[in-house]
Structure 1
């Protein structure tokens, strides 16, 4: 497992992390036992970065992580969580220092720690990025010892660019994959200039870039790939990266011949992301041990040649760009 530095946090972490949304909820039935096995498999494979949130299963994901790390003992991975989506309604006015501190206190309890490694504002409304008093409150929470670092998880490139103007923002989590290429046009270079860590989520476009989903694939009622297909519950960009399902399936078929023989498409898609040196870590999820092990193995893949990169860019331009590029 290769490592990278997480921006101004200074932490050296595995370039493949573990996204813990799936072991919390909204991905169909993933038992606690399966969730623990998946996380253990990732850690055994050299993963040292785990990303979760207080709303994943209403704290279930955080508690599973705490239980696994307690059982394992020894060196702990870097654990990032998120705060803000517990607000109901989820509005700008709810993003106060007091509310965020209350969410942080709950995550401290769920994770069984005295200080959180990293807290990220969890895709807040755009207006929140224009409230410097909130970022000042986060600075004070660092001074109080409740958090070591803070960052933001964003929906839009513009939000990311605004956020890194605050000197205390150590990381930005953003959607980036073969179907969502805009971040590498400008944002990645700006993040590098400011030594901001980049955490890439939705790297497989909710499984589409595994190449294993077809038009006949059925998703459980409690799987967001069913209930958020058109953005009914949260931003549609979080589900299939915002690409219309049929268009995405066509793009997958165009990508399939570009994948080296014997390499799973999911690993190839992760390797494509890691070609960007601005990326600190990519956080695919996993429902079981096999998926976790396969994700981790992507770190060992050879670099993608320029001809293949150009072919990938052409598929994006032809079939995907019109649907997503200017929305996020």
Structure 2
């Protein structure tokens, strides 16, 4: 039997996550439809493999991710798993028809997303998430993509999260973004427990290494690394592959192919090295990996346990593909 992923604590609080977390955007039809049974089987496979951290958001499939995740976890011992969701987008009923593919999800456009980082918006978002999940509490709430809403996020949304934590409504609070700079500000200027950094601490993109990760380590804030395959490029580097949700530029694709050449020379799949790399930093509590099926979950668990020799990391440094100061597992 495969060894279960290890547990790590978020920040200085009591909330724990497994080092491999289940990202639930995929089961909500990210880029392509996913049926109910296939989604349920993906969550079941994660549970059977020992994964106990599940991340979702209202944004994912216009609430479908939360509904499916809640249904799949129903009946599981509540004290054994950690759920995180997000606030910042409220879902408003929409009768216009069509689909949600413009926002990346192959689901009917039954709602539209409205940005809201007000204190009332945060509480309302959480209440609606709990209803969709069928839970009486979530363990972690992240402010979701406040890039263009910094003033309201810091002035209204963050204090609301702080109050929710003080009231015991949630166990840990933070922010989740596809950038490192504003997350660094959250670490420096607030009392967050954790930040979710998507795509900015990977084998391909090391931007979080300069300021975010050192600040987090110094202040006792945990980092969860998402997007470790950079939208799939590090899972299968080929022409037409996605990088940061769009077609990979030529220079980025070339770098990914060079990474693959090195890892395969050491007998290691690029996916395994990409999944393992972020866990080498002491500030990183875990990695989130999106999965659409039970097979993808089982593959991820296998990759996590794939041995990566020190010589591989040394060669990546020697050829300039990995910074000398980047810690490795």
**TM-score clears 0.5:** yes
Determine whether 1:137 maps to 2:163. no
Distance 1:143 1:317 in 2: 41
Identify the residue that residue 196 of structure 1 maps to in structure 2: 221
- Please report how far the alpha carbon of residue 20 of structure 1 lies from its aligned counterpart in structure 2 after TM superposition: 0.8
Identify the residue that residue 327 of structure 2 maps to in structure 1: none
In the TM superposition, structure 1's runs of 4+ consecutive aligned residues that sit over 6 Å from their partners are: none
- Please report how far the alpha carbon of residue 54 of structure 1 lies from its aligned counterpart in structure 2 after TM superposition: 1.1
Determine whether 1:5 maps to 2:9. yes
Determine whether 1:252 maps to 2:256. yes
Residues 179-194 of structure 1: pairs in structure 2 closer than 5 A: 179-194=204-219
Q: Secondary structure of the equivalent of 1:79?
A: strand
Identify the residue that residue 76 of structure 1 maps to in structure 2: 80
Per residue, is there more helix in 1 or in 2?
1
The 1:64/1:76 distance shift into structure 2, 3 A limit, reads farther
Tell me which of the two structures has the higher relative contact order, counting C-alpha pairs closer than 8 angstroms and 6 or more residues apart: 1
The 1:313/1:132 distance shift into structure 2, 3 A limit, reads farther
Q: Secondary structure of the equivalent of 2:214?
A: helix
TM-score (norm 1): 0.80
Distance 1:22 1:166 in 2: 33
Distance 2:161 2:313 in 1: 43
- Note the aligned Cα RMSD (angstroms): 2.7
- Please report how far the alpha carbon of residue 291 of structure 1 lies from its aligned counterpart in structure 2 after TM superposition: 1.2
Deviations 1:21-43 (A, max 9, x none): 11113321222211111121112
Identify the residue that residue 118 of structure 2 maps to in structure 1: 96
- Please report how far the alpha carbon of residue 146 of structure 1 lies from its aligned counterpart in structure 2 after TM superposition: 3.0
Distance 1:133 1:86 in 2: 15
Structure 1 contact 40–68 (Cα < 8 Å) conserved = yes
Distance 2:240 2:186 in 1: 40
Q: Secondary structure of the equivalent of 1:188?
A: helix
Identify the residue that residue 128 of structure 1 maps to in structure 2: 150
Structure 2: state its 5+ residue gaps. Answer: 92-111, 324-329
The 1:96/1:304 distance shift into structure 2, 3 A limit, reads farther
Moved more, 252-261 or 102-111: 252-261
The 1:180/1:65 distance shift into structure 2, 3 A limit, reads same
Structure 1: state its 5+ residue gaps. Answer: 218-224, 226-236, 319-328
